[in-house]
Amino acid sequence: KLANETAKADLGRASWKLFHTIMSRFPDQPSPDERTALKSYIHLFVRLYPCGECAEHFRVIVEKFPPQTSSRSAAATWACHVHNEVNLSLGKAVFDCSKIGDFYDCGCAEDGVEGKAVG
Ligand code: FAD
């Protein structure tokens, strides 16, 4: 169990940042393998999240709202929605998911490693 609320909040901010940035880089037209990878990542994120009570709350949310992996925008919108469910349970303001577009910037160019179009 984490020692204090500050550590828990710091871990949360760092985790959400990575979580949403991964969604923001997910392919627009993912292959079946890429969709499986994202589903696995989400499943393991839920299972291994270091704050046990948080992980348990989030597991219930993800069970209710199953991960969406059909496209980048579906994944990003889903992640925004489940984060909002956490926000609501903690009494925080809800984020406008229509503004998720360029909010999470990895600071990396859209890579051409797999010959993908810029998108
Ligand atoms: P955060 O919620 O950490 O958000 C960081 C930033 O992301 C915000 O400043 C905003 O710019 C942006 N943002 C906000 N909402 C959204 C959204 N819907 N979509 C995209 N971007 C958004 N804490 C607890 O005390 N109890 C818990 O049970 C708990 N469960 C958690 C479960 C998970 C899986 C995670 C990752 C964190 C959990 N936390 C929990 C931590 C909590 O969610 C916050 O991270 C922490 O309280 C810090 O909050 P914050 O106000 O700085 O903003």
Q: For residues 97 and 80, is the Cβ–Cβ distance under 8 A?
A: yes
* Residue 116, pLDDT score: 47
* Residue 115, pLDDT score: 45
Task: Report ipTM for this prediction.
Answer: 0.99
Which single residue is written with the structure tokens 């909040």?
A: 9
Q: Per residue in 34-74, pLDDT tens?
A: 999 999 999 999 999 999 999 999 999 999 999 999 999 99
Q: Per residue in 75-93, pLDDT tens?
A: 999 999 999 999 999 999 9
Our answer on whether the CB atom of 92 is closer than 6 Å to any ligand 1 atom is yes
In the numeric block, which tokens belong to residue 63? 């069970």
**Which ligand 1 atom is nearest residue 5's CA?**
25
CA of 18 to the centre of ligand 1 (A): 12
All structural domains of the chain, each given as residue ranges with its CATH number in brackets, are 5-98 (1.20.120.310)
Q: For residues 63 and 57, is the Cβ–Cβ distance under 8 A?
A: no
pTM, two decimal places: 0.93
